[in-house]
């Protein structure tokens, strides 16, 4: 019985190690087809997921964005890039432009600057 317990413990430890590895490999937890924004760096803090444009980020995300992930799905004629604008209503400069699949854990120039975003064909 002691031996069985030891085996089970070893199995649990290796299962845990596998889980940890896969979480690290996929850094950003963001659904397929969505553009996700977090209030903290490295995909932490509050998250908002967008399937479309948002030209008026709410107060709890406006000028709070610190990491970003574009999990948009590409296809013929699909706008699969995302531009983040400094101001609301797509005004001011573009602080970030993300290609499909791109994840940005932190960007000093874009940190806490975003106010709106749009899906676009290219950067």
Shortest Cβ 40–Ca ion spacing (Å)? 6
Kindly tell me which residue out of 66, 67, 95, 118 binds Ca ion, with binding defined by CB under 5 A.
66
* CA–CA gap between residue 99 and residue 94 (Å, rounded): 14
Kindly tell me which residue out of 43, 57, 64, 113 binds Ca ion, with binding defined by CB under 5 A.
64
Task: Choose between 49 and 120: whose C-beta lies nearer to Ca ion.
Answer: 49
> Alpha-carbon torsion 80, 92, 116, 106, what sign?
positive
Shortest CA distance to 90 belongs to which of 52, 57, 58, 45? 57
Q: Note whether 70 binds Ca ion by CB under 5 A.
A: no
How many residues belong to the site for Ca ion (CB under 5 A)?
4
Task: Choose between 67 and 70: whose C-beta lies nearer to Ca ion.
Answer: 67
Task: Write out the E strands in 1-123.
Answer: 35-40, 44-50, 67-70, 81-85, 94-98, 103-104, 116-120
Site mask for Ca ion (CB under 5 A), range 24-53, x = bound = ---------------x--------------
* CA–CA gap between residue 30 and residue 89 (Å, rounded): 24
Residues 81-120 interacting with Ca ion (rule: CB under 5 A) = 112
- The residue ranges that bind Ca ion (CB under 5 A) are 39, 64, 66, 112
């Amino acid at each position: 019985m002691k031996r069985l317990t030891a085996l089970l413990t070893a199995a649990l430890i290796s299962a845990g190690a596998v889980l940890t590895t896969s979480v690290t490999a996929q850094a950003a937890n963001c659904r397929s087809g969505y553009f996700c924004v977090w209030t903290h760096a490295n995909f932490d803090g509050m998250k908002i997921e967008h399937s479309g444009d948002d030209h008026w980020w709410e107060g709890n995300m406006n000028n709070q964005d610190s990491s970003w992930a574009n999990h948009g799905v590409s296809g013929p004629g699909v706008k699969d890039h995302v531009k983040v604008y400094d101001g609301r209503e797509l005004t001011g400069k573009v602080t970030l432009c993300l290609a499909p699949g791109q994840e940005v854990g932190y960007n000093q120039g874009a940190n806490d600057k975003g106010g709106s975003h749009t899906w676009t064909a290219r950067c």
